Amino acid sequence: MAGEFPLIQKESIRKKLTKVKKLIVTGATGGIGSEIARLASANDYKVGLIDTDEEKLTSLSKQINNSVPLLADVTSEESIKTALNNFSEIPDALVNCAGIVRYGSLLEQNPEDFTKVFEVNLLGCFIVSCAVVKLMVKNNSGTIVNVSSISGGKHPAIGTGAYAATKAGIVMLSEQMSLEWGKDGIRVNAISPGFINTGMSAPHYKDNQERKKRESMVPIGRLGKAEDIAKVALFLLSEDSSYIHGENILVDGGVMNTVLSNISRN
């Protein structure tokens, strides 16, 4: 029909008129963090990559279109402020994915190990979120996703030191953020991944026997992948989840529902 643009030209114009959203990802070089960054970039986000490993950060940024490497320590308020200044734009979204673990029983933990895990996992989530929200309020909008774990979001795992406590703290912190920041147009949710074959968990699955054992515990019959978490994160950042606020979403293949399945009914 006369006056009509070809479909491909319409699509090109639509993309040009669409506002590019800005996302900050902490722990960006980790298995889950890097997958979230890749998927966000593929969905037209400009992505700020925050991590402390300069070599990995530089390499990752070269792989991801429209990304900015931001060398920073989530436990340092000044470091994060500098990183956000270098990003030079107000973020529309934040994913707090930075996390560490110090394995060993509680009696084997020393205060330094416990404190370090607390600082990165929980204090870091607080520091980065507050710094970003102070920018987001200028636009009266924003979305935050905090990555917790089934080890803290639901049940602790033995031999993981402070990890479970910090991840449980992230769930409660996310709820508090949602209550305090919702009035500013900022949505906050958490994700609790299950048995994910990437990042810190990957070494557990190198042993074939251990891998099969864990797979057999998952009702859906497989280990999770980084992209399973990334897809949920992008959903929570999108308008499709605009009425989900203050929730902790389990992404575990159903493993947290299996307790009673181990009890005989005979």
* One-character DSSP codes across the chain: -TTPPPHHHHHHHHHHHSPPEEEEEESTTSHHHHHHHHHHHHTTEEEEEEES-HHHHHHHHHHSTTEEEEE--TT-HHHHHHHHHHH-S--SEEEE-------B-GGG--HHHHHHHHIIIIIHHHHHHHHHHHHHTTTT-EEEEEE--HHHHT---TTBTTHHHHHHHHHHHHHHHHHHHGGGTEEEEEEEE-SBSSGGGGGGGSSHHHHHHHHHH-TTSS-B-HHHHHHHHHHHHSGGGTT--S-EEEESTTGGG-GGGGS---
Per-residue pLDDT tens listing for the chain (266 residues): 445 545 545 454 444 445 789 999 999 999 999 999 999 999 999 999 999 999 999 999 999 999 999 999 999 999 999 999 999 999 999 999 999 999 999 999 999 999 999 999 999 999 999 999 999 999 999 999 999 999 876 688 899 999 999 999 999 999 999 999 999 999 999 999 998 987 666 666 677 887 788 888 888 989 999 999 999 999 999 999 999 999 999 999 988 887 666 666 55
Which domains, from first to last, does the chain contain? Answer: 20-251 (3.40.50.720)
45 is catalytic: no
Catalytic hit among 45, 163, 205, 243: 163
